[in-house]
Structure 1
């Protein structure tokens, strides 16, 4: 028989950065928390991410509001956890090859500014002042000083560690897959079961990222989370030839697209250690982990077009992961009305690292009855109450 651990107030399924942030803010709110994951910390989507904390790619609306809240919280966390999460306020630079695209970016930025985003238009002559190695024939772009970056796996690990320091009532169980959800006599959720233990709690949070749909299915409900595969190239260490997070304007359209086909747009950034990271591709191919040479070729060609200096640089390795895609491009955050005691914090697609602190604050306020810092309604899982299982 599985042994019983002392009962927490909340069990979190998932030790990625979203689960870790939810644990951190729940512990700060005084809750006893247990985190359980079938693998290690950041063993899923978080560990395959670049650590982007972006406001630049989000149009005015609920996701941008959550991103701005999270950007502020990440700055606070960088002060609380100095050096440990490798926070870098590098800023973002969105570039356009044609004047018509610059005009479209201008309208996009106007809406963002109304929501509180700093967006500075940069003319073609000024682009190379910000990034000396950019291609010389670009039409212009926009600089976003609020964009930043963290080391995602380290950030998840440090948030979990900080949660434990905040409250002695935090426990973490790694390498334990949740095989069953436990229910009370009235159908309310009462905890989770692994091969090693039962964790009993009045609230269970699904923070399983791309696998959030499978966790929801254990509760007998549908959450239409689908995997969206993406590749990243890692170059040999270089001098800091790329200063900002730099990407082509079509990346914004790719993020918002619902297409299942392969999409790629140049996203290039340097790292403190020297290698340059090159993304980003998106495609819905299930959990197919095979290497796509077409995706890698596209990334390399688009990066070299943006930064010609990269044309002869060696690529040392590539990696890929699965973004948790929901069809309306908003995460599911909050209680599931179909199962008392079930909460969700998943479906952030490629923005989970950036949106993690704001998600944690929303979950903590929901669980404690505190006033939310922003309107949680757009993220409510209730919008999927009638959803069919994803195909």
Structure 2
């Protein structure tokens, strides 16, 4: 396996195949990777960090000549990110820009509000292990926790505000164009087409066991065009967006509960602000887990929606157009539908994309998203009124 040290060059395998993520246990390379980012340091302890579906993330404790240091090491999933070096180029540019927007703050404040990439001894923001896998390292932000507590409006507000501010701070980005790290990421029509194709090929022999879910998903096809039609018609602009706005992707201060840094920047690229808000609603509007097996417990909470809307609009300030504000309530439906379709497609294909923890895990996830979608649709009138009231209070969209 070879890892070529230049951006824009794909990783290649001597055998002619690209290793599937998980072919080699990443834990076996932690000492090697830690040494690349901290030459001469000894690895004291390592543990998995977070519950991400895609990359492998570890918190490592190092001994650097008697001085302790904690880093976050992440192995990028090359099955998902075909060009991980383009991902890293994007992240470096985005972090540099965000840091400049906070130039008036003290260095210790900036270090808690923006992630800090650690560079190797050769000055690179990434390294390859002996199996050819790409890794990066961030400084661990102390006295912080990942994500809001489900069902707590004040914390939902903080996370939403952080994502809104993220959009606003990147609105004047004037550096080199960011790479599209996953093409057609929020093209919901293509996601539905992929589901239809998965049903037709029935690669894992699972179609018969989830006909109900397939029918429910296909009945909702008109949702797939809602945001795309706005964008293609020139009504909503392309912006630099996060594209993975889950509650877990913002750090909160352990003491104050204030939002700190936005995490998981792999999918930062051109997109729609409405998709970011929609994914935020999907993640934060219910107390049910994303894979809740009891769909009767999946309900959209108007108080949480109000907190998410108010926080997002506070963070984004005057950036959004009126038409974007008008579609905040439906955005949650669209992205919830899109993710339901993706989970269901992956289940039918044999769980090749999202990491699973049990048989039928992706089917449970799809069922949960479909249940949440139904709840959002039942309450859409109330949610539209909440969004309109939040916009008036924030003085945006007009």
TM-score, length-normalised on structure 1?
Answer: 0.32
Larger strand proportion of the pair: 1
TM-score, length-normalised on structure 2?
Answer: 0.31
Larger helix proportion of the pair: 2
